[in-house]
Each structure stands twice: as C-alpha cells, then as structure tokens.
Amino acid sequence: MPTKNAYIGRFAPSPTGPLHLGSLFTALASFLQARKSQGRWLLRIDDLDTPRLAPGAIENILTTLDAYGLHWDGEVAYESQWLEHYQNAIDQLTKNDLTYPCTCSRKQLARYRLRKPEIITYPEFCRTRQHSRTNTHSLRIKTPDQIISVVDVLHGQQQQKIHQEIGDFIIKRRDHIFSYQLAVVVSDHLQNITEIVRGIDLLDSTPRQVFLQQQLGFATPHYQHVPIIVDALGAKLSKQAFANPVHTKNMCQTLFYLLTQLQQNPPHELTSAPLNELLDWAISSWDIKRLEKISTINL
C-alpha cells in the first residue's frame, strides 16, 4: 500500500463536453484532499475514447479549473500519449494466459440475455478461443472465482465476487480502444498515484481495477469515493444527460455552494470573500470524513 509521506492525487476527466457542476464538485474534493495532505494534485485527460471527444472540451476543462483556482502540479498528462504502456500491460496479461479474443457483438449478447435473463455476466462463449492475428475482436480478461476486497476510506470494506458479479470483462474494444478499466490502472501506476478521490458511481469498478493491479504487480492506491450530485429525478449530473457547463461568473458563490454540498459548512461571511480567501479557508478546514457513508447530494 502507498505510504502517507508522498501523497499524489489526481483528477482525470474525459473531454466529452464542457466541465459541469458534478465534475467540478469531484475535482474540488480531490484538490482539497491533496492540498490538505500537503501532497501533489495531477491533472490527466482521459482522451482515449476518440469517437466521444468534444471539440473544445479540453480547453474548457483546463480554463475552468484554472479560473476556480484549482491549479494542478506539473504538466497536464494525456492518456492518448501512453498507448504503448497500455499495450504492454495487455501483452503481460496475455503472456500469463489471462486474456482471450471475443467476437461476440452487443446485439448477440442482448438477444442471449432476452432468452436467459438470469445470466447477468458475459456467458464466456469465447473463453477457449485462441489468439490470432486478426483484429476483428475485443479482448477480455479471465476473472477468477474469488472475492476481491478493497477498503474505501469513506465507505469501509468493499467485497465483490468478481467472476459471479462481473464476469470476464473487456480490456480492449473491438475498435482497438483500450478500456477505461485497463487504462485507469496503468495510468495511475505511471503517475505513481497514491490516493484516488472520485465519484461513488465508480465504486463498483474498483474491485476490477484492484484485480488488474494484482495481475500486473502494481501497488493499490487508497480509495475515497465521494458522493455524486443528482438532479430532481435522482439522476447523476453528466454530460450525457446534458448537464449545464460551469460558468466562470459568480465563482465565489459557486465555490461556496459546492463547499456546502461537500458538508464543510463554510462561514456565511465568506459568501462574498475573494476566491483565493475562500479556497485558503477550504484547504485549512477540509475534512473528507464528513462525507462518510453519503452516496448522493441533491442539486
């Protein structure tokens, strides 16, 4: 496990649209935890899923974070520059007989699940398929019949029967794009990330990532999954749901609102304070434990 002496955190947004309030909420929590711990806070752009990238989104994310005073350490990292590292990880897993090509389409699997609704994981049609030189398939990793455990700082021990609950999952897509599950593990390793503060919607993915870390010989960071902001219908704010972009007007009021939603109880007199003064207060007063066992925050 990582040591407390060298805190390295990160924020890793996908540039599929402008930064919205839910993403800023998570970024702020991650930033404050790093600064309170006198650690480094890195910014990494998850730009692997090229069909979903939105023009201007990267610039919007960078300028918005900067405007709100969430200044990152070092250069911005781009996952699209690390393709060789992701492939090396896959080669290592394949060498250890942990991967196999899968030619099943989503349509085929959907039809199968209509007939067999009790089957919730991939039915392993291709598990015995041998690797070939063709590139018309996705790549899956074999999951073991065991329980993967991880301790989340805010939500306690999490356990997942990875084979029964998740099954063999994709680590490289049919269109040759590396999956999020693989890329995030390799990227965190490359950046020596020790602490991960992110939304609770990713808590279910964590055992998969711990499993990959174990197979690749990587250290497991400390995880802290913070609540997500939801709308009146209980849906997560997201770019896919057309969440409104964050504006750089009235930034102090927006930051004050987010700190209140993060259960930090900023004093009322700071509602009209300069942004840097409010941020200084937030860093010195930050207590992530106030978010224990909280899953959602209403907008």
Supply the pLDDT for residue 1.
46
Asked whether residue 140 falls in the same domain as residue 95, the answer is yes
Residue entry with tokens 């402008």:
18
Interatomic CA distance for residues 231 and 296, integer angstroms: 10
Q: Is the Cβ–Cβ distance between 90 and 171 less than 8 Å?
A: yes
Residue 1 in any domain: the answer is: no
Asked whether residue 52 falls in the same domain as residue 64, the answer is yes
Supply the pLDDT for residue 242.
57
| Phi, psi at 104, each rounded to 5° | -70, 135
Residue 232 predicted with pLDDT over 90: no
For the segment 159-212, what is each residue's pLDDT rounded down to a tens digit?
Answer: 999 999 999 999 999 999 999 999 999 999 999 999 999 999 999 999 999 999
Residue 209 in any domain: the answer is: no
Interatomic CA distance for residues 167 and 148, integer angstroms: 13
Asked whether residue 126 falls in the same domain as residue 73, the answer is no
The domain spanning residue 41 has which CATH number?
A: 3.40.50.620
Supply the pLDDT for residue 239.
62
Q: What are the structure tokens assigned to 198, written together? A: 């992110």
Residue 223 in any domain: the answer is: yes
Asked whether residue 92 falls in the same domain as residue 140, the answer is yes
Asked whether residue 294 falls in the same domain as residue 198, the answer is yes
Residue 2 in any domain: the answer is: no
Average pLDDT, the chain: 95
Structural domain total, the chain: 2
Q: Is the Cβ–Cβ distance between 225 and 200 less than 8 Å?
A: yes
Give the pTM.
0.94
For the segment 282-295, what is each residue's pLDDT rounded down to a tens digit?
Answer: 999 999 999 999 99
Residue 186 in any domain: the answer is: no
Supply the pLDDT for residue 25.
98
Residue 212 in any domain: the answer is: no
- Domain residues for 102? 83-180
Interatomic CA distance for residues 59 and 259, integer angstroms: 25
Question: What band does 5 get if pLDDT is binned at 50, 70 and 90?
Answer: low
Asked whether residue 233 falls in the same domain as residue 103, the answer is no
